[in-house]
Amino acid sequence: MPELPEVETVRRRLAPVLVGRRLDRVAIGDPRLVRPRDPAEAAAELEGETVAALERRGKYLVVRFERDLVLLIHLRMTGSLQHAPGGRLEDDPHLRAVVTLDDRSDVIYRDVRRFGTWEPFDAAGAAAHLAVRLGPEPLGRAFTPSFLSSRLDGRSTPVKAAILDQRTVAGLGNIYADEALWHAGIHPLRPAGELRRDESKALRDAVREALLRGIGWGGTDLGDGVIDAAGVSELKAYGRGGEPCERCGTPIARAVVSGRGTWFCPRCQGRTARRSRSVLPRSHL
């Protein structure tokens, strides 16, 4: 599932082939992609425009054009973008759009479940659209411990639900939410408002760590899960039910938290707050 690390990987891969290029032809095969707009009309709006920058905000890919035009692409669950230097790839039942660049190469959009969206805006409209939906970039300066605390304080909702809210932090999805909570040693069902200050600080650091790890794996095949050279999952918690926790050996447990499959270590992610994450020998206490 494309979360921040996957979208960032796509951005890095496509920026060199897209920036400075003109869109010669845009073919939108699935009306859902630009709904409620008319596909032909949306395509015509993009044709002839030159890409000035390819940016990312949360899970959105932001295609900025030289004219006052911005295309916000959201891959949702199964969307993917691929460059085809030799022109359109072989027939694919899940191909939803093809953009032909002025160097004759194609950028292909495929999306099995058709949840993804392409939304053209002027620059101000795009900024407003993002501003009401997204909180700070997790890897930026604005994602401070006090900001995170301000988003958790006084709330009874499970902390996992709170960090999945894109206004709390932009770009976290189900996988990296579980990973971040594992790194921080925090139970996903803990009421958000009950986290102590040191815990929300640890959670902020853990969100960054989980996402940076994900960006580091960026080269691995998207959608196949993240596996190392030996074919072993790099993930610490997500999807690892029954396997021993890497920290303490306790089998990873599964629960449903606000409707999402959730994996965590029932021992080192305790339900109740602990004094410290640090594991000191008894003689030091």
**Applying CB under 7 A, which residues contact DNA?**
1, 3, 32, 58-59, 74, 76-78, 93-94, 112-115, 133, 155-158, 161-162, 164, 166, 173-175, 192, 256, 258-261
- To the nearest whole angstrom, how small is the minimum distance from the Cβ of residue 50 to DNA? 27
Measure the CA–CA gap between 71 and 14, rounded to whole angstroms.
15
Which one of 3, 8, 119, 199 is the catalytic residue? 3
- With respect to DNA, which residue has the nearer C-beta, 101 or 171? 171
How is 149-185 classified by DSSP, letter by letter? HHHHTT--SBHHHHHHSTTTSTT--HHHHHHHHHHHT
User: 91: which 2 tokens?
Assistant: 């027939």
Comparison of 82 and 166: residue with beta carbon closer to DNA: 166
Name the active-site residue from 59, 96, 160, 204. Answer: 59
Query: Closer to DNA at the Cβ: 194 or 209?
Result: 194
Which residue reads 């295309």 in tokens?
Answer: 71
Concerning whether 2 is annotated as a catalytic residue, the answer is yes
Question: Shortest distance, CB of residue 196 to DNA, whole angstroms?
Answer: 17
Residue 112 or 139: which CB sits closer to DNA? 112
Nearer to DNA, 101 or 172 (CB): 172
Active site residue 85: no
Q: Catalytic residue, from 260, 266, 267, 277: name it.
A: 260
3 is catalytic: yes
Q: With CA atoms as reference, report the closest residue to 82 among 17, 154, 147.
A: 17
CA distances (Å), origin 176, targets 160, 187, 238, 285 = 10, 14, 8, 33
In the DSSP assignment, the letter for residue 29 is -
- Least Cα distance to 247 among 206, 189, 196 occurs for 206
Whole-number Å distance between alpha carbons of 211 and 188: 17
Min. distance of Cβ 52 from DNA in angstroms? 24
Q: Which residues contact 279 (CB under 8 A, 6 or more apart)?
A: none
59 catalytic? Reply is yes
What is the CB neighbour count within 10 angstroms for residue 255?
16
Q: Which of 145, 177, 179, 182 is nearest to 162 (CA)?
A: 177
Side-chain-facing half-sphere of 169: CA atoms under 13 Å: 36
Find the radius of gyration of the CA atoms of the chain: 21
Give the shortest CB-75-to-DNA separation in angstroms: 8
* Residue whose entry in the numeric block shows the structure tokens 């054009």: 65
Minimum Å gap between C-beta 281 and DNA is: 38
Phi/psi-derived region of residue 140, left when phi > 0, alpha when psi is between -120 and 50, beta in every other case = beta
Which C-beta is closer to DNA: that of 113 or that of 274?
113
Which residues are known to be catalytic?
2-3, 59, 260
